[in-house]
């Protein structure tokens, strides 16, 4: 572990990080919800990004999602909503025993490419260290891409609270935790996952989410001065 000094992490940046990662976590963790999707369209959520906007991948994701929003600004048809749900199921649950974009870290990093492996336990320990636990603890793997993004969002919120309270020691702890979790876990497989999303998603919505996640991870790694570890292959 290399201690980091983060002079550029301010209230605006941390707020944007927390919002962006929390949104991606929700969007990737649950099946599409028609009312929520329509709210995103109505509120023009994809007109800009609160974090990582300088990354090419973020810009590509916004273009895809904004285009998708414009097409559905008068409502999402039954067929288009069915296509979204089918895309989610195919990508993350699998159809006919085929899952092109597994969302769990251990599938990418463990020797046998299976779930509930050592990587799952390590990620769970990270959550517990900061008094967090997934709602479905022991019922599904803790190393889901969405849960890891939500965890980083929570660390960003804690960093923000420490910064606002001028608690430099706590601020450094939470920033260091983000850097260490990125280097030890999410960056080792997350970018591979993003590229698979970009390749295999059949809807602009999920392809756009893949690019947005990609851009967010690159931006966060640059911000926290994290060197890219050797990536997984799958």
**Residue 233 within a domain:** no
* pTM exceeding 0.75: yes
**pLDDT tens sequence for the chain (234 residues):** 555 555 568 899 999 999 999 999 999 999 999 999 999 999 999 999 999 999 999 999 999 999 999 999 999 999 999 999 999 999 998 776 678 999 999 999 988 777 767 888 999 999 999 988 766 666 678 999 999 999 999 999 999 999 999 999 999 999 999 999 999 999 999 999 999 999 999 999 999 999 999 999 999 999 999 988 776 666
**Residue 140 within a domain:** yes
3 state DSSP class of 95:
strand
Nearest to 88 by CA among 218, 200, 186: 200
**Residue 173 within a domain:** yes
Q: Residue 100 carries which DSSP code?
A: S
The number of folded domains in the chain is 1
**Residue 228 within a domain:** no
Crossing angle for the helix pair 145-164 and 11-29, to the nearest 10 degrees:
160
Nearest to 18 by CA among 232, 223, 226, 167: 223
3 state DSSP class of 98:
strand
Residues 6 or more apart whose Cβ sits within 8 Å of residue 121: none
- Structural domain span for residue 141: 11-223
**Residue 215 within a domain:** yes
Instruction: Please report, for the domain that includes residue 133, its CATH number.
Output: 1.10.3480.10
**Residue 231 within a domain:** no
Whole-angstrom Cα distance, residue 93 to residue 122?
A: 23
**Residue 201 within a domain:** yes
**Residue 198 within a domain:** yes
């Amino acid at each position: 572990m290399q201690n980091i000094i983060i002079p550029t992490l301010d209230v605006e940046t941390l707020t944007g990080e927390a919002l962006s990662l929390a949104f991606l976590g929700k969007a990737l963790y649950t099946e599409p919800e028609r009312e929520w999707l329509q709210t995103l369209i109505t509120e023009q959520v994809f007109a800009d990004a609160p974090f990582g906007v300088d990354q090419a991948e973020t810009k590509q994701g916004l273009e895809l999602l904004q285009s998708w929003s414009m097409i559905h600004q008068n409502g999402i048809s039954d067929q288009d909503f069915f296509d979204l749900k089918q895309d989610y199921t195919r990508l993350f649950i699998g159809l006919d025993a085929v899952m092109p974009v597994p969302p769990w870290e251990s599938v990418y990093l463990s020797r046998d490419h299976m779930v509930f492996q050592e990587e799952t336990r390590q990620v769970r320990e990270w959550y517990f260290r900061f008094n967090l636990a997934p709602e479905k603890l022991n019922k599904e793997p803790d190393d889901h891409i969405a849960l890891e993004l939500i965890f980083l969002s929570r660390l960003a919120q804690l960093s923000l609270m420490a910064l606002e309270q001028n608690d430099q020691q706590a601020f450094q702890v939470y920033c260091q935790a983000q850097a260490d979790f990125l280097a030890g876990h999410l960056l080792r497989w997350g970018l591979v996952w993003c590229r698979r999303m970009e390749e295999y998603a059949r809807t602009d919505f999920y392809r756009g989410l893949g690019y947005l996640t990609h851009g967010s991870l690159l931006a966060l790694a640059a911000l926290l001065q994290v060197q890219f570890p050797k990536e997984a292959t799958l």
